[in-house]
Amino acid sequence: MKKIKQFQTILNVVIVFSICIMVISVLGLLMGLMTGNMSKMNVTIHGQEINHVDAVLTIVILLMATGYGFFIYSIYQLKKLIDMFIRKEFFTDLSVKTLRIIGVSMLASPILIQVPGYAYGILNSATIHLKISSISPESIAFSIIISLFFIILSYIFNEAKIINDENELTI
Amino acid sequence: MLARRKMRSNELAERIGITTANLSILKTGKAKAIRFSTLEAICKVLECQPGDIIEYIAEK
């Protein structure tokens, strides 16, 4: 239980840090989108520097911001799950639902962050960059595997909840 | 069976060593399972057979 409380503290710091970065980024991007001049901000998407703003870029940035929002939301849900574990609420409907939300948010986050940026990079440079290390910790495949792990864990928790309920209702 | 033996629920619960809340779960059919020791105690106190207090109902 001591380690789980340390983990909770780390998550609290990560959430505050992520929200600060998001607020600063969104404010900066909004200013850039409103003025139409991104050259002062040094914004790069997949290594390509962005100087001018068009409709496609606005959509790409909005999708990426939504993806980042999903990422923060998944960390917040993970914190909620740890709070439940500290209260010794392990196999409940809420823990199953939270695990599923974490999985789906983590699945949506890398897709919304990586795919629009990658597509925009292809549209503008007309070249496709492929890396051999496709299952590295920062890759989209790794994120999808982690999110699937959470979704599978939610099914396992659901089965555990059923067994737990049966145990509690054995007289 | 309780009525036939002119016994109250709380008395039965006390004699078989379970809480009245758990006996209520048993009576309302909400219990998922019953221990043989509990069934044995109920049958002993009520002087009956398991078939007198439990029945099979097919799931719909």
Q: Distance (Å, rounded) from C-alpha A117 to C-alpha A48?
A: 10
**Mean pLDDT (10-residue bins), chain A, 171 residues:** 83 88 82 69 66 77 88 92 91 95 93 83 64 58 90 96 88 85
Domain extent for A160: 2-168
Which positions 5-44 of B are in contact with A (Cβ < 8 Å)?
A: 18, 22-23, 25-26, 30-35, 38
Does A162 lie at the interface with B, CB-CB under 8 angstroms? no
Tally of domains in chain A: 1
> How is chain B split into domains, by residue range?
9-53
Chain B contacts of A166, Cβ < 8 Å? Answer: 32-33
Q: Which of B2, B8, B14 is nearest to B48 (CA)?
A: B2
Question: What is the structure's pLDDT at A60?
Answer: 84
Chain A contacts of B38, Cβ < 8 Å? Answer: 171
Interface ipTM: 0.71
Tens digits of per-residue pLDDT, A13-42? 988 888 888 888 878 877 777 776 666 666
Contact A1, A86 (CB under 8 A): yes
Using only C-alpha atoms, chain B has a radius of gyration, in whole angstroms, of 11
Tens digits of per-residue pLDDT, B22-32? 999 999 988 88
Reported confidence tier of residue B40, pLDDT bands at 50, 70, 90 = very high
Q: Mean pLDDT, chain A, as a whole number?
A: 82
Contact A161, A85 (CB under 8 A): no
Chain B interface mutation, best of A163, A167, A171, highest count of B Cβ atoms under 10 Å? A171
